[in-house]
Amino acid sequence: MPALFGSVAIAIVLNIIYLYLISAYTSTFAYIALGFYELILVAGIVGGAAIALSGNKAAVGVGIGMALIFLVLLLIFNCMLWFKWVNFKIGIAIADASADFLASTMRIVLVSFFFGLLGYVALIVGLGAQAYLVSSVVAGTKLTG
């Protein structure tokens, strides 16, 4: 039980830190996320090329297909950014305004606390139900329902 209370306390502290960080550095986090999306797509292209060049004749088509799919996704993603950059900036401004609101309203921490508490209750009830089912099956009783 102490681990449960410890994890709830850590969740509350991390929630408060996250609210202040996202309030102060919204655009920075947005650009970092954008960079990670680009990196994932480039990694898919490089991974597909590596599979195609691995020497396994059965995997050449899979590697080329993977590289082409990720290349198309990269081109679509960058075209969307190019043509909708203004909308991306508006989205960052909206996220910044909502983050400032959430940071100034500390009661929002209680929402995540109660959500986490209900999650723990659901977890405990679910584990109890699973334990009942497993013990019933192991004991050889028939479940009716």
Supply 54's token pair. 């691995």
120 — pLDDT class (breaks 50, 70, 90): confident
Q: Is residue 1 part of a domain?
A: no
Supply 78's token pair. 């960058």
**Number of other residues whose CB lies within 10 A of the CB of residue 22:** 19
40 — pLDDT class (breaks 50, 70, 90): very high
Task: Give Cβ neighbours of residue 49 (< 8 Å, ≥ 6 apart).
Answer: 63, 67
Name the percent of the chain lying above pLDDT 70: 90
Q: Is residue 79 part of a domain?
A: yes
CA distance 38 to 42: 6
Q: Is residue 138 part of a domain?
A: no
Q: Is residue 136 part of a domain?
A: no
* DSSP type of residue 144: -
Nearest to 73 by CA among 81, 83, 85: 81
| 3-state SS class at 41 | helix
Domain count across the chain: 1
Tell me the pLDDT tens digit for each residue of 41-93: 999 999 999 998 988 888 889 889 999 999 999 999 999 999 999 999 999 99
CB 12 within 8 A of CB 6: no
Name residue, tokens 């081109």. Answer: 75
Supply 126's token pair. 């679910």
What is the pLDDT, as a whole number, of residue 16? 78
Q: Is residue 51 part of a domain?
A: yes
Residue 78: which domain range?
A: 16-106
123, amino acid identity: L
How many DSSP H helices and E strands does the chain contain? Answer: 5, 0
What is the pLDDT, as a whole number, of residue 139? 61
15 — pLDDT class (breaks 50, 70, 90): confident
Q: Is residue 40 part of a domain?
A: yes
141 — pLDDT class (breaks 50, 70, 90): low
143 — pLDDT class (breaks 50, 70, 90): low
* DSSP type of residue 140: T
